[in-house]
């Protein structure tokens, strides 16, 4: 981006910002009326100015340079375009992996969740599972599925660390579907356990979440009654496992996953919101702030012009009145001058007549 030179003179009314003169320092500032530097944001701008201001950058301690506001807006647009292109590139790079449906098991009880995970790995895969930190992944199942077994979805002991662990994992792995595992107990206890999990992913699509009730040795009518009680949560399906064979369990899971596409969960507005999503929102907000600042500067300049114009008109009117007063005074002075000139001519004529009479009398 080739930027124009901006030289601050008494006749230049272009609005400007200050930017750190050190090329490693790219913090953008706006000068307050008190000549203080107010930090706006960090943005890469090509400097091509030879007119440092009297302000000093609080970060690099070097004198700051003036940058016209158009440069700031252009730089913001360039940054947004770069992010869009980068996102498109990442999308194409992840296209192959996104075709594999990524399924995660969630539970605040480890035993049954882990048992089903290994059951799938042992019965449906010819390769070993992979370990990533505290997370396990199966190999690709049936050329279309990969299952993830995370740590317990329990936030009571070490909430901040657990949130960070899951957030980082979701950032590096696309997850398209959740199975929530609970052990069969009293209905109120099961609802309490489900609620503890759901409230952390409340804004996610419920048709991409299924419930598995383990060790459920009850009659069919009881299962129907539980399905009615759990329908409040809006799960895609509710499955009950007891002494089912490994094949029946796998078939039930795969049936639930039918017609589920590889659409990545959007964790916005959850505790797992990704840092890059936050950065994109901040970038968008920064762009809007910069545009608003430039508009405000333009509005302020227009207002200054209008105020100056009104003052100039007022001064012009004062000068016009003074000119009229002076012209009136000049007219009166000229009248006085004419009267005096006329009197002088009369006096001269009278003097001439007296002198002539005096000469006659003398001779």
d(CA 128, CA 119): 12
Domain boundary assignment for the chain: 16-91, 98-273
d(CA 335, CA 342): 11
Please give the pLDDT value at position 291.
Answer: 80
**pLDDT tens sequence across 126-170:** 666 677 668 888 888 888 899 999 988 877 765 778 888 888 888
Q: Tokens at residue 222, please?
A: 């009881």
Three-class SS state of 189: helix
Q: Are 68 and 2 in contact (CB under 8 A)?
A: no
Name which of 101-110, 120-129, 224-233 the model is least confident about: 120-129
Q: Tokens 């029946």 appear where? A: 248
Q: Candidates 3.40.50.300, 1.10.1040.10, 3.40.50.720, 2.60.40.1930; correct CATH number of 98-273? A: 3.40.50.300
Q: At 88, is the pLDDT very low, low, confident or very high (cuts 50, 70, 90)?
A: low
Percent of the chain residues topping a pLDDT of 70: 68
Please give the pLDDT value at position 11.
Answer: 28
**pLDDT tens sequence across 160-204:** 788 888 888 888 888 999 999 999 989 999 999 999 889 888 888
Q: Tokens at residue 16, please?
A: 């400007």
Please count the residues of the chain. Answer: 363
Q: Are 64 and 54 in contact (CB under 8 A)?
A: no
Supply angle C-alpha 284, 288, 289, rounded to 5: 115
Q: Are 59 and 15 in contact (CB under 8 A)?
A: no
Please give the pLDDT value at position 267.
Answer: 85
Query: What is the separation of C-alpha 345 from the centre of its chain, rounded to a whole number of angstroms?
Result: 91
The answer, yes or no, to whether residue 238 has pLDDT greater than 90, is: yes
The answer, yes or no, to whether residue 8 has pLDDT greater than 50, is: no
- Which residues lie below 8 Å from residue 78, measured CB to CB, with a gap of 6+? 1
**pLDDT tens sequence across 304-316:** 888 888 888 888 8
Average pLDDT, the chain: 76
pTM: 0.51
Pairing of strands 177-183, 52-56: unpaired
d(CA 262, CA 103): 10
Please give the pLDDT value at position 208.
Answer: 92
d(CA 109, CA 246): 20
């Amino acid at each position: 981006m080739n930027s124009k030179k901006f030289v601050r003179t008494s006749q230049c009314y272009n609005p400007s910002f200050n930017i750190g003169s050190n090329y490693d320092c790219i913090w953008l500032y706006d000068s307050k009326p008190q000549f203080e530097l107010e930090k706006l944001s960090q943005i890469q701008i090509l400097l091509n100015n030879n007119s440092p201001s009297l302000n000093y950058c609080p970060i690099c301690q070097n004198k700051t340079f003036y940058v016209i506001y158009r440069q700031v807006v252009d730089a913001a647009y360039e940054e947004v375009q770069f992010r869009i292109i980068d996102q498109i590139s990442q999308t194409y790079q992840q296209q192959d992996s996104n075709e594999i449906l990524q399924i995660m098991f969630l539970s605040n009880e480890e035993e049954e969740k882990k048992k089903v995970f290994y059951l799938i790995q042992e019965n449906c895969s010819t390769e070993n599972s992979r370990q990533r930190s505290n997370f396990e992944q199966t190999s690709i199942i049936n050329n279309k599925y990969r299952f993830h077994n995370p740590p317990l979805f329990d936030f009571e002991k070490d909430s901040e660390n657990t949130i960070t662990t899951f957030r980082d994992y979701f950032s590096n792995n696309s997850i398209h579907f959740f199975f929530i595992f609970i052990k069969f107990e009293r209905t109120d206890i099961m609802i309490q356990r489900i609620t503890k999990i759901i409230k952390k992913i409340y804004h996610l699509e419920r048709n991409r979440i299924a419930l598995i009730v383990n060790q459920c040795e009850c009659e069919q009518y009881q299962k129907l009654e539980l399905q009615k009680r759990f329908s409040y949560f809006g799960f895609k399906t509710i499955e009950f496992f007891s002494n089912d064979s490994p094949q029946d369990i796998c078939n039930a899971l795969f049936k639930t996953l039918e017609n589920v596409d590889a659409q990545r969960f959007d964790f916005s507005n959850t505790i797992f919101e990704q840092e890059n999503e936050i950065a994109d929102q901040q970038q968008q907000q920064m762009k809007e702030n910069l545009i608003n600042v430039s508009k405000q500067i333009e509005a302020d300049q227009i207002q200054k012009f209008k105020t100056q114009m009104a003052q100039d008109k007022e001064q012009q009117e004062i000068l016009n009145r003074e000119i009229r007063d002076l012209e009136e005074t000049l007219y009166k002075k000229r009248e006085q001058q004419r009267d005096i000139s006329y009197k002088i001519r009369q006096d001269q004529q009278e003097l001439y007549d007296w002198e002539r009479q005096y000469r006659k009398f003398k001779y």
